[in-house]
Structure 1
Amino acid sequence: MRPSGALTQVDDSDDVETRIYRAVFDSVMSQRLTPGTKLTEASLCSLFGVSRSVVRKVLQRLAHDHIVQLRPNRGAIVAVPTPEETRQIFEARRALEAAIVQLVAQHATAADLKALRQQLAQEHQAMHRFGQPDWARLASGFHVRLAALCRNPILERYLVETISRCSLIVALHEPPGNAACEHDEHGRIVDCIEHGDAAGAMALMEEHLCSLEHHISLQRDAPERSLAQLLGLSH
């Protein structure tokens, strides 16, 4: 779910602007597109068969959502968070997710818990069957699902934006092969929620997010791949 508001609302209609937006957004979330990657208008026009005006409109929407940076006379790149922005983003995420898990622990229904267990099962399968991008997407999806279950659309909207910005940071700084989120940590959080232990769920989430921030490395070399491959349009 991509709520309206802080993030630009994206329709479910199959128009070309939506497809370009989703291709870039999902590629960032799955860590195929790393911070600093150039998104040239000519390449996007060629890949999607559209005019420059369409591409520019999509890039403006992505810039509004902090996914890309528009540089005067130099084109667009996937956003590169600064160290200070990184600290602020993780600080905000810890506060948001503490509030979210508290609400979920207080109000979770049997159906909510079933949805969370299904999410954990998908994560477990991804750990053994798929590559890092698929695992990263599902790991982020766990946090988004928690936000949906807190029944506060404002918190949910802010977390979706914050997670997208965290994905940029992880894609840039996390060492290859290191899991962005640990499956077992997610499981323990759900256990606390199931027992109505809001304090325990909040403490585990704080520890979980601090661990994610702690394991971020300062440098990572981006792989040499074409824009089509980074957008998942080619192999």
Structure 2
Amino acid sequence: MTLDDSPIASPFAGEDRAATIRDHLRDAIVDRRLAPGTKLSEAEVGVLFDVSRTVVRAALQALAFEGLVKTERNRGAFVANPSPEEARQVFDSRRLIEPGIARAAAAAGLTPADRDLFTTLLAEETRLLDERGPVARRAEIRASGDFHLLLASVAGNVILLRFMEELVARSSLVIALYGNSGASSCGHGEHAEILAALEAGDGERAAALLVSHIDHIEADLDLRSTTGLPLREALAR
């Protein structure tokens, strides 16, 4: 892979550079702009962001902790390529965690601001359903994940929210890679039902709907090969 002589301009002066690089790489991975198995060269990422390899290494280690990157001794870091078994474990974990989140969110109750955020997310999903192409598809997957993260935020448990951030990132990668017919599209109506249960304060119904929703997403998975973009193009804004 070759690069031109000009690095990507750094937009994050004064911020945590490793965290920002991590976020850019995570977005490119979850959006499938970087294909599973793509080598993430510390030197190349460093050139792209005009940072040292030490900063890049910290970003890659954070992504490895999240399960989005795998590191191999003497070979370097690569975009994770989740196996069917790993995908199944991700959704098994969500079935264990999310019903409890739904009950906690219903018990906490939705504020007017929460309702506005949920309504905005559902409207965005509706808009994306009317669009076509891989860009809209990736945006739709992201919007679907945001619904579940907002639910975890409403529940008010910071630790569970962090778990969900990792699980949603892994789920988004799996869905983008192996989704057969558009799992997030199928789940849009289910999101509305879950929200209605939350608004009614019915945690048990919201929990049951979430389990069914996760089952439907997992049932749509079908192992497929994928291709991605070169590193520079994938990270270009």
- TM value normalised by structure 2: 0.84
1:209 corresponds in structure 2 to: 214
User: Per-residue deviation at 1:215?
Assistant: 0.7
Shift of 1:13: 5.3
- For 1:214 and 1:186, the matched residues in 2 are separated by 17
Q: Could you tell me which residue of structure 2 aligns to residue 20 of structure 1?
A: 21
Structure 2 match to 1:150: 155
C-alpha change, 1:51 and 1:154, in structure 2 (3 Å) is closer
2:42 is the counterpart of 1:41: yes
Cα deviation digits, residues 45-96 of structure 1 (max 9, x gap): 2211222222222212221222210111222111122333222221111111
Letter in 2 for 1:119: L
Alignment-derived partner of residue 123 in structure 1 = 125
Q: Return the offset for 1:189.
A: 0.8
Q: Which moved more, 1:144-153 or 1:161-170?
A: 161-170
Could you tell me how far apart the structure 1 residues matched to 2:86 and 2:106 are? 30
Distance 1:171 1:108, change over 3 A: same
Contact 1:41 1:52 in 2 (8 A): yes
Shift of 1:141: 0.5
Check conservation: 1:34, 1:168, Cα contact below 8 A.
no
Aligned to 1:229: 233
| Partner secondary structure for residue 123 of structure 2 | helix
Superposition deviation, residue 24 in structure 1 = 0.7
**In the aligned structure 2, how far is the partner of 1:215 from the partner of 1:12?**
42
1:162 aligns with 2:167: yes
Match of 2:9 in 1: none
Structure 1: distance between partners of 2:148 and 2:33: 20
Which blocks of at least 5 consecutive residues in structure 2 are unaligned?
A: 1-11
> AA paired with 2:58?
K
Contact 1:34 1:171 in 2 (8 A): no
Look up the SS of the partner of 1:70 in the other structure: strand
Whole-Å separation in 2 of the counterparts to 1:12 and 1:42: 20
Task: Confirm or deny: 8 A CA contact 2:183 2:220 kept in the other structure.
Answer: no
- Residues 110, 48 of structure 1: CA spacing in aligned structure 2 closer, same or farther, 3 A cutoff? closer
Q: Do the aligned residues in 2 keep the contact of 1:104 with 1:149 (CA within 8 Å)? A: yes
Moved over 6 A (4+): none
Give the Cα separation in 1 of the matches to 2:201 and 2:75.
Answer: 52
Aligned-partner residue type, residue 40 of structure 1: S
SS at match of 2:77: strand
Q: 2:96 is matched with which residue?
A: 95
Aligned residue in 2 for 1:53: 54
Unmatched segments (≥5 aa) in structure 1: 1-10
Q: Given the alignment, which residue of 165, 170, 179 partners 1:174?
A: 179
CA distance in 2, matches of 1:200, 1:31: 34
Task: Say what the alpha-carbon RMSD is for the aligned residues.
Answer: 2.2
Q: Which amino acid aligns with 2:220?
A: H
Alpha carbons 2:69, 2:78 under 8 Å: kept: yes
- What is the identity, as a one-letter code, of the residue corresponding to 1:206? V
Q: How many residues align?
A: 221
CA–CA distance in 1 between the matches of 2:124 and 2:15? 27
Shift of 1:12: 11
Is contact 1:174–1:220 with CA below 8 Å preserved after alignment?
A: no
Distance 2:13 2:109 in 1: 28
* Equivalent AA in structure 1 for residue 54 of structure 2: S
